[in-house]
C-alpha cells in the first residue's frame, strides 16, 4: 500500500504570520505520479458552506515512485487560525499526487500568538 | 493517505448569469417605458421649439373611448388639415404623448376647445411638414415615465452587482481555489491610512425607503389583482371563500410592508447621525477615536447608544435558497448617554482589544466588525444604523 | 464548542452516506438499468436526493460508467456555458449525466438536456416534483433515519441528550438537513433569540 506524507521541521505546527515553514514531503507510491505538489492553504469548517484559499503551490518535478523532498514556504500575513461558534478557519499543508488524487495533509496554526484564536459568543452590552 | 484533496474543493459558484438576465429585464423594461412615456415626448418638445406656427382647420373632434379588460381609457381624437409649401396635409396628433389614459374629464375639456370647423393654431416641423401637433406644451402625463425609473435603478444596481460577482467568479476559475491577494480578503477603504474616515451606513434611509417601497409596490401590486378578483366575487354575492382565506397571509404581509414604508418615511425626518472614525481603519491593540454629530434635529433624541460589534457570518444553502447565520463574539460600548448636552455631538476614545480578531472575508464565511448606532426617539420610530469598519491586525502582532 | 468540533458542521454532514430503505442497492441499480439509465430521484427539500445522487456516482463507477454532474441553484433556469461544457463535451455511451436540481430549469433548457443527452449512456436527475423522468426512487425521511444519522455522528449515548428525532422532523416538516442544522445550533449553544444567548462577556480572541 503506497503512502504520501508531509512533515514540518522538528514537528513544529504553530507559526506566526509571515514566518517561513520548512519541512519535507515524502512518498512511496504503487503507481507513478504525473505530478506531485505541495499546497499551503486554509479552509473553513462549521455551519457555513466551505471556503478554501490556496496560498502557495510548490510542484515537485519528475517525481519518482519513492522520494523525499524538502520545501520552504512563507506564510502570508493572514488570515489567522480561529474558531468561533459558526466558523473555524484551519491552515494546512497538503501534498497531492496526480493522477489518483493521493494525498497527505497536516494542519498547522497561524496566528501572532501561535495558537488558534477562539471567539466566544458575546451578549450585547447595554 | 487521506481521501480527496481538501485543497481541490471549490466554493459554491455564483449564478451571476441568470441574475444578470433578471436585472437586465428590469432595466430594459423600465428604460423602454421611460423612453416612450417621458424621454421621447421631452425630446420632441425640445425639437418643437423651432417648429413653425400655422393655422389649421378642425375636421372632427371627440373623446376616443378604449375599453380594456379592467378599465376604460380615453384619448383626444382631433383631426385637422393645414397647408405648407403649397401642399395640403392632414394630421390627428394632439401632443407629443400619444395613446390613451384614464381621466375622461380632462380630455373632454381639450376636445371642447376644438369644435369642428374652427381654425386653430398648430405647429409643424418645417423639415417634415407631415409632422404637426396642436399643442407642443409639456404635459403632466409625462411624469408617469418617472415610475419606470424605479425599475431602471433597481435593474442597473442589480446589473452592476451581478457583474461584480461574476468578475469574482471568473477570477477564481483557476484549477485551484486561490486565496485572494489581500491576506484577509479585504481592501482598506480609500483615504483611511492613518487619516480619519466618515462612516457611511450600510443602507441609507433613502435607500431603505426605496427598497421597501419597491418591495411593497411589487408585492401589493401582484396581490391587489387577486384581492380585486376576490372582492368582485363578494360584491356580486358569489364569494370565493377559498381564495379569500388563501389571500389572508399575503395581504397581511402586504400590510406589513406598507407599515414598514410609512415607518421608514417617518425615519427620513430623523436626525442624521454623522460618525467620523480616526484612524479610518482600526487595528487590534490601537486606540480609536469616534466623533459623532446629530445635527440640528438631534433635540428629539433621548438616548444615544453606539457600540462596536464583532461577529461571525456563515452563509449556507438550504435547498435552493441561501441563508446567513450570525454570531456576535465581541461588543464594545462606545457611547451610551441620555445627557442632553452629550447627545447632539461629542467624541470618545476606545481601545480595540490587542487580541481582537481582524476583519476577514471569504465567499461564505466572514468576520465583520461594525459600529451600530441607536437613537432612541420617544413617540417616533427609532433610528438604527450599522456602519462596517475594518479591523486590521495589530502592529505588535 | 468550536465550530470545527461541532459534530453537525456542514462538512461532516456532507460525508454522511445515503441510507437506502426499501430496495437494496443492487435492486435500485437494476431498476435504473431497466429504465435505460434515464430516471429521476424525487422528493421535497432536505430528503437526501443530492446525497443519493452522490452515492450513485460511486456505484455507477463500479459498473464501469463515468458520470458528469452539474448542480443547479434556485433561479438557474438555464445551463451556464461551463455547465454545458461539463455535460455535453465529447459524450459517449459510457457517460451518465447527473443533474441535481433539474426542477429549476425552464422548458427550453430541459428540452436541450433531453435532446443533447441522447448521445450519453444515461441521464439521472433530482427533482422536487415527479414527472420530468420516470421516478427511480422517492426519497423519504423517517425519525428512525434521522436518529440513525445522529447516532453515527455523535454516538448513541450522546444522541440521547439531543432533541428527539421525531420532534425535530415534525418541526422541520420532514427536512433532515434543517433538522441537522438545528442540532448544530443546539451543540453550539446557539438559541433562537440573541437576548437569550448565554456566554460570559470576555475579551474577543480569548
CA A80 to chain centre: 13
Helical (H) or strand (E) element with B322: strand B321-337
CB A46 within 8 A of CB C4: yes
Same domain membership, residue C159 and residue C77: no
CB contact under 8 A, A86 and B183: no
Name the pLDDT band for A112 (thresholds 50, 70, 90): very high
Any domain includes C3: no
Helical (H) or strand (E) element with A46: strand A35-46
Any domain includes A15: yes
State whether residue C194 is helix, strand or coil: helix
CB B55 within 8 A of CB B198: no
Question: Can you give the pLDDT at residue C205?
Answer: 34
**Which has the higher per-residue pLDDT, B170 or B238?**
B238
Question: Can you give the pLDDT at residue B36?
Answer: 78
Question: Can you give the pLDDT at residue B116?
Answer: 92
C111: domain range? 25-138
Selecting from A4, A48, A78 the residue whose C-beta is nearest the C-beta of B393 gives A78
Any domain includes C10: no
Any domain includes A124: no
Q: Specify the pairing of strand B274-278 against strand B287-293.
A: antiparallel
- Among C118, C138, C158, residue at a domain's last position: C138
CB B294 within 8 A of CB B375: yes
Chains touching A by CB (3 or more pairs below 8 Å): B, C
Question: Can you give the pLDDT at residue C200?
Answer: 31
Cell of B227: 384581492
Residue C129 contacts A where some CB pair is shorter than 8 Å: no
CB B315 within 8 A of CB A47: no
State whether residue B376 is helix, strand or coil: strand
Any domain includes B379: yes
B334: domain range? 271-392
CB proximity under 8 Å: B 262-321 to A: 305, 307, 309-310, 312-317
Question: Can you give the pLDDT at residue B182?
Answer: 77
Same domain membership, residue C112 and residue C87: yes
Same domain membership, residue C164 and residue C82: no
Any domain includes B11: no
Using one digit for the tens of pLDDT, what is the confidence trace for B313-366?
999 876 666 789 999 999 999 999 998 888 888 999 998 888 889 999 999 999
User: CA-CA distance, C100 to C98, in Å (whole number)?
Assistant: 6
Residue with cell string 427536512:
C175
**Which has the higher per-residue pLDDT, B105 or B137?**
B105
DSSP 8-state secondary structure symbol assigned to residue B179: P
Contacts of B309 in chain A (CB under 8 A): 124
CA B4 to chain centre: 45
Any domain includes A125: no
Helical (H) or strand (E) element with A102: strand A102-110
Selecting from A46, A83, A122 the residue whose C-beta is nearest the C-beta of C199 gives A122
CB contact under 8 A, C74 and B320: yes
| φ/ψ bin of C146: left (φ > 0), alpha (ψ from -120 to 50), beta (otherwise) | alpha
- What is the average per-residue pLDDT within C177-187? 92
Using one digit for the tens of pLDDT, what is the confidence trace for B127-181?
888 889 998 877 766 666 667 777 777 778 777 776 665 555 444 444 677 777 6
What percent of chain B lies above the pLDDT cut of 90? Answer: 28
- Neighbour order of strands in the sheet with A3-8: A3-8, A20-28, A66-74
CA A69 to chain centre: 16
Name the pLDDT band for B381 (thresholds 50, 70, 90): confident
User: CA-CA distance, A11 to A108, in Å (whole number)?
Assistant: 10
**Count of domains observed in chain B:** 2
CB contact under 8 A, B318 and C45: yes
- Which of A23-32, A41-50, B31-40, B339-348 bottoms out in mean pLDDT, i.e. has the lowest? B31-40
Selecting from C73, C194, C203 the residue whose C-beta is nearest the C-beta of B353 gives C203
**Count of domains observed in chain C:** 2
If you write DSSP's letter for every residue of C67-117 in order, what string do you get?
EEEEE--TT--S--HHHHHHHHTT--TTEEEEEETGGGS-HHHHHHHHHHG
Q: Is the dihedral of CA A43, A46, A48, A49 positive or negative?
A: positive
CB A54 within 8 A of CB A119: no
Question: Can you give the pLDDT at residue B225?
Answer: 85
Residue A100 maps to which CATH number?
Answer: 2.60.40.640
Using one digit for the tens of pLDDT, what is the confidence trace for C45-99?
888 898 899 899 989 998 899 999 998 887 788 898 889 998 999 999 999 999 9
Interface size, chain A vs chain C, as Cβ–Cβ contacts under 8 Å: 70
Same domain membership, residue C132 and residue C30: yes
CB C136 within 8 A of CB C32: yes
Selecting from A42, A47, A119 the residue whose C-beta is nearest the C-beta of B357 gives A119
User: CA-CA distance, C108 to C122, in Å (whole number)?
Assistant: 19
Question: Distance, in angstroms, between A101 CA and closest chain C CA?
Answer: 16
Same domain membership, residue C149 and residue C132: no
Residues 6+ apart with CB under 8 A from C5: A83, A88
Any domain includes C152: yes
Question: Can you give the pLDDT at residue C196?
Answer: 33
Any domain includes A113: yes
Residue B365 contacts A where some CB pair is shorter than 8 Å: yes
Nearest to A38 by CA among A98, A109, A112, A85: A98
Contacts of A120 in chain C (CB under 8 A): 199-200, 202, 204, 206
Selecting from C10, C45, C73 the residue whose C-beta is nearest the C-beta of B316 gives C10
Any domain includes C7: no
Name the pLDDT band for B46 (thresholds 50, 70, 90): confident
Q: Is the pLDDT of residue A109 over 50?
A: yes
- Among C121, C138, C155, residue at a domain's last position: C138
User: CA-CA distance, B9 to C87, in Å (whole number)?
Assistant: 19
CB contact under 8 A, A47 and C188: yes
CB proximity under 8 Å: C 46-75 to B: 46, 72-75
Q: Is the pLDDT of residue B17 over 60?
A: no
Contacts of C203 in chain B (CB under 8 A): 330, 353, 355
- Among B73, B104, B135, residue at a domain's last position: B135
- Among B68, B103, B135, residue at a domain's last position: B135
Mutation site, B13, B312, B316, B354, interface A, largest A CB count within 10 A: B312
**Count of domains observed in chain A:** 1
CB contact under 8 A, B328 and A42: no
If you write DSSP's letter for every residue of B21-89 in order, what string do you get?
HHHHHHHHHHHHHHIIIIIHHHHHHHHGGGPEEEEEEEEEEEEEEEE-SS-EEEEEEEEEEEEETTEEE
Any domain includes B104: yes
CB B277 within 8 A of CB B288: yes
Using one digit for the tens of pLDDT, what is the confidence trace for B262-294?
998 888 888 888 999 998 888 888 899 999 998
Any domain includes C114: yes
- What is the average per-residue pLDDT within B22-30? 78
Q: Is C34 exposed, middle or buried (0-12, 13-18, 19+ CB in 10 A)?
A: exposed
Question: Distance, in angstroms, between C3 CA and closest chain B CA?
Answer: 11
CB-based burial, A59-88: b 16+ in 10 Å, e otherwise? ebeebeeeeebebebebbbbbbbbbbbbbb
Residue B353 contacts C where some CB pair is shorter than 8 Å: yes
Same domain membership, residue C161 and residue C89: no
User: CA-CA distance, A1 to A12, in Å (whole number)?
Assistant: 28
Same domain membership, residue C170 and residue C132: no
Nearest to C12 by CA among C2, C20, C4: C4
Selecting from B9, B325, B331 the residue whose C-beta is nearest the C-beta of A52 gives B9
Using one digit for the tens of pLDDT, what is the confidence trace for A44-89?
999 999 999 999 999 998 899 999 999 999 999 989 999 999 999 9
CB contact under 8 A, C203 and B355: yes
CB contact under 8 A, A41 and B305: no
Selecting from B309, B312, B336 the residue whose C-beta is nearest the C-beta of A86 gives B312
Any domain includes A95: yes
- Among C138, C167, C183, residue at a domain's last position: C138
What percent of chain A lies above the pLDDT cut of 70? Answer: 97
CA B105 to chain centre: 34
Any domain includes A108: yes
Same domain membership, residue C60 and residue C42: yes
Same domain membership, residue C86 and residue C35: yes
Any domain includes C16: no
Chains touching B by CB (3 or more pairs below 8 Å): A, C
Question: Can you give the pLDDT at residue C11?
Answer: 87
- Rounded to two decimals, the pTM is 0.67
Any domain includes A126: no
Q: Which residue of B has its CA nearest to C201?
A: B330
Q: How high is the ipTM of this complex?
A: 0.90
Any domain includes C5: no
Any domain includes B370: yes
Any domain includes B320: yes
CB contact under 8 A, C205 and A87: no
Residue with cell string 487521506:
B2
Contacts of A27 in chain B (CB under 8 A): none
Contacts of A83 in chain B (CB under 8 A): none
What is chain B's mean pLDDT, rounded? Answer: 82
- Neighbour order of strands in the sheet with C66-71: C66-71, C95-100, C122-127, C38-42, C135-138
CB proximity under 8 Å: C 4-23 to A: 4-6, 9-11
Question: Distance, in angstroms, between C194 CA and closest chain A CA?
Answer: 8
Residue B353 maps to which CATH number?
Answer: 2.60.40.640
A39: domain range? 3-117
CB contact under 8 A, B179 and A76: yes
Q: Is the pLDDT of residue B15 over 60?
A: no
Residue C74 maps to which CATH number?
Answer: 3.40.50.300
- Among B107, B135, B163, residue at a domain's last position: B135
Any domain includes A39: yes
Amino acid at each position: 500500500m503506497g503512502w504520501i506524507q508531509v512533515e514540518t521541521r522538528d514537528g513544529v505546527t504553530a507559526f506566526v504570520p509571515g514566518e517561513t515553514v520548512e519541512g519535507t514531503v515524502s512518498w512511496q507510491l504503487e503507481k507513478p505520479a504525473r505530478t506531485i505538489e505541495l499546497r499551503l492553504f486554509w479552509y473553513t469548517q462549521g455551519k457555513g458552506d466551505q471556503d478554501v484559499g490556496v496560498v502557495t503551490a510548490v510542484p515537485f518535478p519528475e517525481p519518482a515512485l519513492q522520494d523525499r523532498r524538502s520545501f520552504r514556504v512563507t506564510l502570508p500575513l493572514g488570515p489567522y487560525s480561529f474558531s468561533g461558534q459558526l466558523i473555524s478557519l484551519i491552515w494546512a499543508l497538503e501534498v497531492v499526487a496526480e493522477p489518483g488524487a493521493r494525498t497527505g495533509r497536516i494542519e498547522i496554526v497561524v496566528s501572532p500568538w501561535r495558537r488558534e484564536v477562539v471567539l466566544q459568543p458575546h451578549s450585547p452590552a447595554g | 493517505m487521506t481521501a480527496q484533496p481538501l485543497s481541490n474543493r471549490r466554493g459554491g459558484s455564483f449564478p451571476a448569469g441568470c441574475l444578470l438576465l433578471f436585472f437586465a429585464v428590469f432595466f430594459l423594461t423600465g428604460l423602454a417605458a421611460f423612453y416612450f412615456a417621458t424621454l421621447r415626448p421631452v425630446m420632441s418638445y425640445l425639437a418643437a421649439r423651432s417648429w413653425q406656427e400655422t393655422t389649421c382647420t378642425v375636421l372632427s373632434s371627440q373623446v376616443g373611448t378604449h375599453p380594456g379588460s379592467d378599465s376604460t381609457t380615453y384619448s383626444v381624437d382631433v383631426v385637422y388639415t393645414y397647408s405648407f409649401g403649397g401642399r395640403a396635409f392632414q394630421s390627428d396628433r394632439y401632443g407629443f404623448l400619444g395613446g390613451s389614459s384614464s381621466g375622461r374629464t380632462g380630455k373632454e375639456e381639450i376636445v371642447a376647445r376644438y369644435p369642428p370647423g374652427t381654425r386653430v393654431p398648430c405647429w409643424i416641423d418645417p423639415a417634415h411638414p407631415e409632422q404637426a401637433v396642436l399643442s407642443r406644451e409639456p404635459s403632466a402625463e409625462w411624469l408617469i415615465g418617472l415610475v419606470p425609473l424605479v425599475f431602471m435603478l433597481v435593474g442597473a444596481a442589480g446589473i452592476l452587482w451581478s457583474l461584480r460577482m461574476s468578475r469574482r467568479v471568473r477570477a477564481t476559475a483557476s484549477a485551484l481555489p486561490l486565496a485572494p491577494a489581500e491576506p484577509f480578503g479585504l481592501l482598506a477603504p480609500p483615504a483611511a491610512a492613518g487619516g480619519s474616515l466618515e462612516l457611511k451606513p450600510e443602507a441609507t434611509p433613502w435607500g431603505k425607503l426605496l427598497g421597501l417601497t419597491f418591495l411593497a409596490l411589487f408585492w401589493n401590486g401582484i396581490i391587489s389583482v387577486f384581492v380585486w378578483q376576490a372582492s368582485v366575487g363578494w360584491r356580486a354575492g358569489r364569494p370565493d371563500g377559498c381564495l379569500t382565506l388563501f389571500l389572508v397571509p399575503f395581504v397581511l404581509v402586504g400590510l406589513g410592508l406598507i407599515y414598514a414604508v410609512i415607518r421608514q418615511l417617518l425615519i427620513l425626518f430623523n436626525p442624521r447621525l454623522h460618525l467620523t472614525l480616526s484612524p479610518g481603519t482600526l487595528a487590534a491593540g490601537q486606540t480609536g477615536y469616534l466623533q459623532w454629530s446629530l445635527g440640528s434635529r438631534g433635540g428629539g433624541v433621548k438616548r444615544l447608544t453606539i457600540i462596536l460589534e464583532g461577529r461571525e457570518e456563515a452563509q449556507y444553502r438550504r435547498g435552493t435558497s441561501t441563508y446567513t447565520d450570525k454570531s456576535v463574539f465581541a461588543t464594545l460600548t462606545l457611547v451610551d448617554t441620555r445627557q442632553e448636552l452629550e447627545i447632539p455631538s461629542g467624541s470618545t476614545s476606545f481601545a480595540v482589544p490587542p487580541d481582537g480578531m481582524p476583519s476577514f472575508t471569504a465567499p461564505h464565511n466572514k468576520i465583520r466588525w461594525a459600529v451600530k448606532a441607536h437613537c432612541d426617539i420617544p413617540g417616533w420610530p427609532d433610528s438604527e444604523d450599522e456602519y462596517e469598519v475594518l479591523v486590521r491586525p495589530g502592529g505588535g502582532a | 464548542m468550536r465550530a470545527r468540533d461541532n459534530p453537525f458542521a456542514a462538512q461532516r454532514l456532507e460525508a454522511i452516506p445515503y441510507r437506502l430503505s426499501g430496495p437494496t442497492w443492487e435492486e435500485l441499480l437494476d431498476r435504473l438499468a431497466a429504465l435505460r439509465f434515464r430516471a429521476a430521484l424525487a422528493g421535497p427539500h432536505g430528503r437526501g436526493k443530492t446525497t443519493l445522487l452522490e452515492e450513485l456516482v460511486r456505484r455507477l463507477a463500479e459498473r464501469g460508467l463515468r458520470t458528469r454532474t452539474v448542480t443547479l441553484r434556485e433561479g438557474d433556469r438555464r445551463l451556464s456555458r461551463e455547465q454545458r461544457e461539463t455535460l455535453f463535451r465529447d459524450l459517449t455511451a459510457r457517460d451518465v449525466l447527473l443533474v441535481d436540481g433539474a426542477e429549476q430549469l425552464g422548458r427550453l433548457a430541459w428540452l436541450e438536456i433531453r435532446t443533447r443527452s441522447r448521445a450519453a449512456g444515461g441521464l439521472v436527475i433530482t427533482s422536487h416534483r415527479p414527472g420530468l423522468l420516470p421516478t427511480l426512487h422517492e426519497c423519504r425521511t423517517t425519525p428512525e433515519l434521522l436518529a440513525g444519522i445522529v447516532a453515527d455522528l455523535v454516538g448513541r449515548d450522546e444522541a440521547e441528550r439531543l432533541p428527539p428525532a421525531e420532534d425535530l422532523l415534525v418541526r422541520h416538516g420532514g427536512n433532515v438537513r434543517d433538522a441537522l442544522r438545528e442540532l448544530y445550533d443546539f451543540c453550539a449553544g446557539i438559541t433562537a433569540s440573541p437576548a437569550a444567548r448565554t456566554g460570559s462577556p470576555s475579551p474577543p480572541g480569548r
